[in-house]
Structure 1
Amino acid sequence: MAAAVGCLGAVARFSRVLLFLSQFYILSGGGSLNLEHSQPLAQSIRDPGPTRTFTVVPRAAESTDMPPPYVMKCPSNGPCSRLPADCIECRTNASCVYGKPAAFDCTVKPFVTCVDQDFRSQKNFVINMTCRFCWQLPETEYECSNSTACMTVSCPRQRYTANCTVRDHVHCLGNRTFPKMLYCNWTGGYKWSTALALSITLGGFGADRFYLGQWREGLGKLFSFGGLGIWTLIDVLLIGVGYVGPADGSLYI
């Protein structure tokens, strides 16, 4: 019985060895596996099948003809003679006399539409305006930047360089933006009447100087009792004539 069991075990080991050798032989290329999916796989490698093509459709080109900023100031289908100066271009009339009315040939700018007296669209027209350069206009016809970095209360009175721009409805020759020297003219909110009242009533304690933002002078008047009254009288006169002003250099209101 034991001999029979041993014989069966040897046969099983021998069959395992044969199975291993056969698998090794097949994997090493000495044989081929006749599987059902091997042939379709080989065919798929040799013949990749129909090729798919894709057509790229280009996007529509975005319009680059954007209206310029000045179009916002130009009323559509209005009279050409009423258009703002930023909406038209006019030829210089070399024969005009300064200060006298003259006719100028003008053309509307691109993207601007206007009409004549008969409501017909037109591009070229004539306007009448005074012969003068933009920097020669009255102060009411242009706007200038204001400066708060200069002293309004000084002798001589200080000036600053302002950038001025002509108003839209005004026509003139040359550049519509120009520099101009102007006197310092701004206020910080200090009242002349309040400063004078404080100088008369409480000037001996330096209240007027404290109000104007002049702390060192205010402390000097406070601890000297108004300079024994002399400093107080002098400040009343100086504030009364406007010689002493706010410490920030602004004007009274």
Structure 2
Amino acid sequence: MAPLCQIWRPDRGRCFKTYGIIFVLFTDLVLQSVTVSPSDEESYTFGCPSGGLCQRLPANCMLCNFQHNCTYAKATSFTCKPRKGVHCIGESGQQQANFSLSISCRFCWQLDPSQYRCFNSTSCMTVSCPRRRYNATCDVLDHVHCLGRRSFQKRLYCNWTGGYKWSTSLALSITLGGFGADRFYLGQWREGLGKLFSFGGLGIWTLIDVLLIGVGYVGPADGSLYI
């Protein structure tokens, strides 16, 4: 009887092939998991000036020991230091590892609207009654310092515009309103066709539209504001 190791098995080559495919797939998976990505230091130092005054560094270029027990809206000094990889100097021209920063004591969501930027929604109706609000994500400007999270949520009124001019719509309503030009301009096609085939409602509809557009009651069909 032949030894067991010498017995020829038809599926032996197939097994080696299967193990080889599994090994190749495993190696490819390991190589894909090792990705080269920029370090955290490179991500913020890219926008940080080097050699400038420490007090003028952007907020994401420094680390500050902010305390929340200060008096609201009162100027308060906090101890800060530049982040790793960021170099700055003081008033004397010497490089500083720690410096004092004076800011107004208020949380980021309490800042003046000119000190942060919010996402402007173009899906809510500005001409609805009561006036609608939407949830906006706001980010503080880089040079503004405040307490708390620099990205926050706010409930803002719908105030976007689609580029329609009030003066143009009023001029069209006065001159060509009988042909529905004002309604066509505002994107209200059905009303425009109605005015066109009724000759402006025999002039009555035209006069009414002049008044409604004049006071701003009739606006763009997309719900945006006039510019």
TM-score bin, normalised by smaller chain: 0.7 to 0.9
Q: CA deviation at 1:185?
A: 1.6
Tell me the TM-score normalized by structure 2. Answer: 0.79
In structure 1, distance between residues paired with 2:200 and 2:109? 50
Q: Does structure 1 residue 208 correspond to structure 2 residue 182?
A: yes
Q: Which residue of 2 aligns with 1:88?
A: 62
Q: Does structure 1 residue 119 correspond to structure 2 residue 93?
A: yes
Q: Give the letter aligned to residue 151 of structure 1.
A: M
Tell me the TM-score normalized by structure 1. Answer: 0.71
Q: Which residue of 2 aligns with 1:138?
A: 112
Q: Aligned ranges for residues 149-228 of structure 1 at < 5 Å?
A: 149-228=123-202
* Worse-superposed segment, 134-143 or 191-200: 191-200
Q: Which runs of 5+ in 2 are unaligned?
A: 1-35
How big is the alpha-carbon RMSD for the aligned residues of Structure 1 and Structure 2?
1.8
* Worse-superposed segment, 168-177 or 181-190: 181-190
In structure 2, distance between residues paired with 1:75 and 1:108? 11
In structure 1, distance between residues paired with 2:51 and 2:171? 60
In structure 1, distance between residues paired with 2:104 and 2:134? 29
Q: Give the letter aligned to residue 185 of structure 2.
A: Y
Of 54, 68, 73, the match for 1:99? 73
Higher Rg? 1
CA deviations on 1:147-189 (whole Å, 9 max, x unpaired) are 1111122212222211111111111000111111111222222
In structure 1, distance between residues paired with 2:162 and 2:40? 44
Q: What percent of counterpart residues are identical? A: 67
Q: Which runs of 5+ in 1 are unaligned?
A: 1-61
Q: Give the letter aligned to residue 127 of structure 1.
A: L
Q: Give the letter aligned to residue 221 of structure 1.
A: K
